[in-house]
Amino acid sequence: MRYLTEADIEALEIGAAILGTGGGGNPYIGKLRTLQELRRERPIRLISLDELSDDALVATIGGIGAPVISVEKLEHGEEGCWAVRALEEQLGRKIDALVAAEIGGGNSMMPMITAAQLGIGVVDGDGMGRAFPEMQMTTFSIYGHRSVPAALADERGNVVLFKHTMTEEWFEKLARATTVAMGGSTVGVEAPMSGRYVKRAAVPGTVTQAITLGNIVLQANRKHADPIPLICSQEGGVHLMDGKIVDLKRHLRGGFSVGEIVLEGIQSSSGRRGSIVFQNEFLLLELDGLVRVSVPDLVVLLDVDSGHAITTDVLRYGQRVAVLGLPCHPLLRTPEALKVVGPAAFQLHDVEFKPLRAT
């Protein structure tokens, strides 16, 4: 067990944005909110999977909605607390710890904020090892746990409780529709489960992983060094191209930010051409007409100079980016997982998932 410091949170913002593959909400806003809790002398206790009690009651937490909405719509600040309390009332017992539904982006901060407010712990792990756009795409759901009962809260104080849905996909549809009605973003607390199950199904150590990545970037920036090869070395990833965004299509559809970007190679990648499809997160990279990386592996866009991640809500014409491919955790590469988070789950039916390999 460890208590997170302000320096940890600064690093977590950077590392979680990298793992977010463009989505998960804006981590900068989440960082500011988390630092505010620490400065109110509300500690954040990080619990490793080894330390987690088998009998602990753990729930996932995360923001729901298009990332661009989370930037534009101000939050009250206690939505997570309202959702936790509604779920506890339904369950008839207290929740002992929170775990991120996804480590990517701003959703890495949501457990920190709410756990600090409630005085409970945060599990060092998550349900994705990255970010995905839909709620049934967690390892907790993939390996057999139900997301309901669950609670959604908005900034006005509205709380909606889901007691039962027929399938995980139905929960996603109903929760997404509720989120749209609530203004496009909510905080959801779902999938109350035992510590024993979390140990089996969580992607382990991802809070620590994100903090490590963030520190790599910060240390490289201080030394005026290039963090990109260091990130690839740490994660077993591949630096695929440096490019300039020459075309960008982005719009909201069904509560998601969807679109495509086109890249022209610069520097050593001159003459190459890439395209990236996204649905909140980057899903697929084609390079010179060939699929190079697809979900569930990570397509990551970094600022070509600083190595800081670029999220889908701040993409713009003319940006100069480094494109990386990072391998996902093995829990996301099983046949069960690929049915839920592989290319076909995103209507990319002509794409066969091939695990990323360095070349």
Q: What is the mean pLDDT of residues 310-329?
A: 94
Q: Write the CATH number of the domain with boundaries 227-346.
A: 2.40.390
Q: Which of 22-36, 213-227, 332-346 has the lowest mean pLDDT?
A: 22-36
Confidence band for 68, pLDDT divided at 50, 70 and 90: low
Among the residue ranges 77-91, 250-264, 278-292, 344-358, the one predicted with the least confidence is 250-264
The radius of gyration computed from the CA coordinates of the chain, to the nearest angstrom, equals: 19
User: Which comes out higher in pLDDT, residue 349 or 159?
Assistant: 159
Which whole number is the average pLDDT over 90-95? 97
Strand partners, 97: 58, 121
- At 255 the pLDDT is 67
| Structure confidence at residue 27 (pLDDT) | 85
What residue type is 141 in one-letter code?
Answer: S
pLDDT at 70: 66
Q: Report, as an integer, the average pLDDT of 75-80.
A: 91
Strand pairing report for 57-65 and 97-100 = parallel
Q: What pLDDT sits at residue 203?
A: 98
Nearest to 267 by CA among 298, 305, 229: 305
Contact 49, 124 (CB under 8 A): yes
Strand 121-126 to 45-47 pairing: parallel
Domain boundaries, given as residue ranges, for the chain: 2-204, 227-346
CATH H-level superfamily of 2-204? CV3147-like domain (3.40.1610.10)
> Checking DSSP bridges between strand 121-126 and strand 97-100, what pairing results, if any?
parallel
Q: Which residue has the tokens 């945060």?
A: 122
When pLDDT is averaged across residues 190-213 and rounded to a whole number, the result is: 98
The span from the CA of 71 to the CA of 88, in Å, is 29
**Per the structure block, which two tokens stand in for 314?**
């701040």
Condensed to tens digits (0 to 9), the pLDDT of residues 106-124 reads 899 999 999 999 999 999 9
Give pTM, 2 decimals. 0.94
